[in-house]
Amino acid sequence: MSRGFRDEDVTQAMTDKAMADTVSRVLEQEAEQEARSADRRQHGEAGSCEDCGRPIGAERLAALPTSTRCVRCQSAWEQANR
Ligand SMILES: [Zn+2]
């Protein structure tokens, strides 16, 4: 009687590999993002979205201090840069 454990193992292995790839890419992007947010802070532009210019939101900045885009622009950017 199969309960699909093997399929789950394969799926898990693929997920782990994808996760490792994603993590290394995310770390790269984070370093880039940190440099950019520091640059924006220097120019007094932190807190507003670099794409639409609207306030990013204190909550988002508290959770992710290096944010340079609002939630909407960030998800659009992530879609475009996947
Ligand atoms: Zn925006």
pLDDT tens track for 19-37: 999 999 989 988 998 999 9
Calculate the CA 40 to chain-centre distance.
Answer: 18
* 75 Cα–ligand 1 center, Å: 10
Domains of the chain: 5-80 (1.20.120.910)
Write down the pTM of the prediction. 0.60
Question: Which amino acid belongs to residue 64?
Answer: L
* 48 Cα–ligand 1 center, Å: 8
The pLDDT score that the predictor gives to residue 3 is 61
Q: Mean per-residue pLDDT for 72-80?
A: 94
How many C-beta neighbours within 10 Å does residue 31 have? Answer: 11
* 56 Cα–ligand 1 center, Å: 7
* 82 Cα–ligand 1 center, Å: 18
